Amino acid sequence: MNFLRGVMGGPSAGPQPSGAETIQKLCDRVASSTLLDDRRDAVRALKSLSKKYRLEVGIHAMEHLIHVLQTDRSDSEIIGYALDTLYNVISNDLEEEEQEENLPKQVDDLGSQFTEIFIKQQENVTLLLTLVEEFDFHVRWPGVKLLTSLLKQQGPQVQQIILVSPMGVSRLMDLLADSREVIRNDGVLLLQQLTKSNAAIQKIVAFENAFERLLDIITEEGNSDGGIVVEDCLLLLQNLLKNNNSNQNFFKEGSYIQRMKPWFEVGDDNCGWSAQKVTNLHLMLQLVRVLVSPTNPPGATSSCQKAMFHCGLLQQLCTILMATGVPADILTETINTVSEVIRGCQMNQDYFASVNAPSNPPRPAIVVLLMSMVNERQPFVLRCAVLYCFQCFLYKNQKGQGEIVSTLLPSTIDGNSVSAGQLLCGGLFSTDSLSNWCAAVALAHALQENATLKEQLLRVQLATSIGNPPVSLLQQCTNILSQGDKIDRRGSKVQTRVGLLMLLCTWLSNCSIAVTHFLHNPANVPFLTGQIAENLGEEEQLVQGLCALLLGISIYYNDNSLENYRKEKLKQLIEKRIGRENFIEKLGFISKHELYSRAAQKPQPSFSSPDHMMFDHEFTKLVKELEGVISKAIYKSSEEDKKEEEVKKTLEQHDNIVTHYKKVIREQDQELEELKQRINTLTSQNEQLQATVTQQVSQIQQHKDQYNLLKVQLGKDTQHHNSHSDTFQMNGIQTEEVSKLKEELEEWKNKHELLQGQLREKDSVIEKLKSSQLEIGTTEQSSQTGKSGGLEHNNELQKELEMLRSQIQLQSAEISKLQMENQKLQVMNTTADPVLGDSSTRAANNSELEGRLEQEIKELKSEVKALSEEKESLKQHLDSSSSTVAILQDEKSKLQQEVAESKKEQDDLLVLLADQDQKLSALKIKLKDLGVPVEDEDDIESGDQGDEDEDGDEEEQD
């Protein structure tokens, strides 16, 4: 104990041993001591020295500490000391006290080296997982901290060991259910490290009910008002969901999106937001963006967007968007989140268009956001977020594009209120270069892939100054472009010109009428050629490349309607003043620019500074599409252009024919659908009527059964009354019945005698045959034939005799029955006579009984009559129902015949369509032979999606 006292700081005489010697002695004590108390004290001493002498303890004591974990599991105290010591050795986190004391800094990779030594034996990690299962706080908590430190140092290796360990991840998931908050919170930190960049573990953790538990913890802690525990849970949720489509789908199908809505229920009093609340809400918004990120599969993103609308999450985000007192960074992130929730989802975009700001008078949210975008006093990141929101609102939303452009048209301009179009024009022509660029890009998105709106925008007229005639928007853009250096602007002059050139390129692409309007101004083409031909600095090279692109679009989409600016003349102009090779080189400056590559990576405009704000993501797709075809168009001869035009005209004719046939087929499909719906309705009506008929038939059958039952009951009642009144009937009635029975008895006796006579005659015939049979036949043949004939005749006679005898027996039985009934009647007759003669009161009773019986008989007859009438009415109803069914069946057969005829016509049309497609493919082959690029419809439709996939791949590579 003196030794330990010296280690722990007690007074001792003589020279003090060094730290390494003390650690070595303690290790020997741990390895050799047989008493548990001694080993425990030695491990406690190593723990106290492990922070100061980290390297020595790690080198000498690690093996002994692991041995203690294996052998002394029964004592929780020594296990806790051992785990704490290993944690101090492996962890690189320095205590605040050590930092204040300015202790020598350990080597950065010291913890990584010790971790590598510890996990070299995979059994050590498995042992640690077993210790984490212990409920004892002094064992479980140090075990969780040690495992977290191992994952920080050597994450992938430790993840792989835990993954192959039986129930390894499931054991760690139990930490979230621990009632002790310290262990639960550190368990969240452990799972954060465990799920980093490992999709397999992320899936296991998700299917171990992690979403439910984490959302429960966030709710218990107070959602966005919670502390750092909420932040840790949100970071873990991001690890589980980011770039993991399986977990995202599981999160959506588990209805966990609905549980996110309470996170964003911010009160009216938004002043005094704590730093932790801002951090929590920022992470919550990022979690929403993870689910609807443009890099996710389109189907998964769309389903999450719809779920967020139906559960009210989008409405809650819009409430925060329009609220006052929200911090700037939260407002910016909310705008970005709303942008991705509505991007490409028509239902969400329509709702966002209907949102109004709480102002007087109310203004649309889009107008309020655009006011912030063109206001140069607003923060740069906020203006970028508003631009992204506007782009997402217009993405694949032709209805929204039309509403924005309509605010610029003369017929719809409202002078009393500020519209989105007026704000865009104001930003486009302001003296702030950043507002110019944002407004130009926003207006270009309003025209994206919409040729109709490009033509309508040509009608926009602007009043430049008092007394001067109005100028078209296209002309004003080109005027500002040509006067770019002369106007005093705040910011980069190149930025304004790049924005206007991107707008013009988007406007003129795939719109021949806009190209004609652009070329109609005689100053535009000389300005473009002059810009391209000059040798300018590096900044101006980008403007030269965009001018080359605009001139190339004017050639490629030129319909030769202007004689002075036909395709061939423009090519000759390029050849003389610029040179084809120089033109192609300047055109290539765009795609080679560094800012172009950054913009092509993702849709969200994210720039480190306003000077880097040059290219838009959608514009990079346009450049990629047009750069190759413009280069080929410049080198084509006039003959090739003529051939190409002829082929294009032929293709257009065939396209018109195909479109016509498609329209016819579409109309016939609609008719077929209508006929099918009509057949379905008639079939359902027929089924309903058949069910009604069946029900009525069953009702009729029930009435029949009731009628028969009443009839039987009526017969029984009459028999009962007859038998009851037999003793009280008059004697004359009984004598009539007796006489009838006697007559029937006489008839049966006569029949009996007649049958007996017939029987005697048959017996005599049989006797004669038998005697004649004995006398006949001396030869064998005659005797055989006689025998056979006699036997056959004899058998027939025997059968007739048996039948007659059976009839006689039946008749004799009936005769005996009638005789018995006759005797009963005679007895009843004799007993009834004195009764009738003696009492007069019986006669009165008889009359009363007869009256009651007659009344009951009348009532039964009336019921029978009513039942018969009801039966007749049901029969009539059944006949009418059957006639209705027959009519419906006739209509059904007619409709089926019409459907068959329509299908036949559709087959004929499909045959014609196939012929047209073959001709079309042949013409496309000819075009390809001539060197004209031809794209299929499927390629054009899938081009956008393909570009998004390529952009996603480039982002992952970067």
User: What are the tens digits of pLDDT across the range 481-490?
Assistant: 888 666 666 7
User: 173 with 236: CB under 8 angstroms?
Assistant: no
Question: What is the number of residues in the chain?
Answer: 958
pLDDT digits (tens, 9 = 90+) for 14-31: 456 677 888 888 988 988
Residues with Cβ within 8 Å of residue 591, at least 6 apart in sequence: 623, 624, 627
pLDDT bucket at 345, cuts 50 / 70 / 90: very high
Interval 234-282: pLDDT, tens:
999 999 999 999 999 999 999 999 999 999 987 655 566 889 999 999 9
- Report whether pLDDT(736) > 70: no
**Which two structure tokens, joined as six digits, stand for 259?**
């549980």
CA distances from 413 to 358, 420, 490, 605 (A): 23, 11, 30, 30
Q: What is the pLDDT of residue 386?
A: 96
Q: Tell me the sheet residues that pair with 471.
A: 462
For residues 559-587, average pLDDT:
90
Asked if 352 and 358 touch (Cβ cutoff 8 Å), the reply is no
Closest CA to 129 of 170, 160, 88: 170
Neighbouring CB atoms inside 10 A of 414's CB total 9
Q: Which residues of 848-869 are buried (b: 16+ CB within 10 A; e: fewer)?
A: eeeeebeeeeeebeeeeeebee
Report which of 600, 613, 503, 519 is spatially closest to residue 566, judged by C-alpha positions.
519
Its pTM stands at 0.66
Contact (Cβ atoms closer than 8 angstroms) between residue 878 and residue 700: yes
Asked, as a colleague might, if the bond just before 361 is cis with ω within 30 of 0, I would say yes
- Among the listed residues 610, 617, 612, 618, the one whose alpha carbon sits nearest the alpha carbon of residue 434: 610
Instruction: Say which residues have a Cβ less than 8 Å from residue 665's Cβ, sequence separation at least 6.
Output: 906, 909, 910, 913
710 pLDDT above the threshold of 70: yes
Element containing residue 227 per DSSP (H, E): none
Can you tell me the mean pLDDT for 664-685?
88
Largest Cα separation within the chain, whole Å, is 165
Q: Could you tell me what percentage of the chain is helix, strand and coil, using 3-state DSSP and rounding each to the nearest 5?
A: 80, 0, 20
Token reading at 726: 């037999």
Contact 686, 892 (CB under 8 A): yes
Which of 198-207, 598-607, 696-705, 898-907 shows the lowest per-residue confidence on average (mean pLDDT)? Answer: 898-907
The residue to which tokens 């009604």 are assigned = 692
Helices 199-207 & 245-253 angle (0-180, nearest 10)? 10
pLDDT tens per residue across span 158-202: 999 999 988 889 889 999 999 999 999 999 999 999 999 899 999
Please give the structure tokens belonging to residue 526.
């000389």
pLDDT at position 833:
42
- With contact defined as beta carbons under 8 Å apart, do 478 and 526 qualify? no
Q: Which tokens sit at 249?
A: 């789908």
3-state SS assignment for residue 687: helix
Q: Which residue shows structure tokens 């003196």?
A: 2
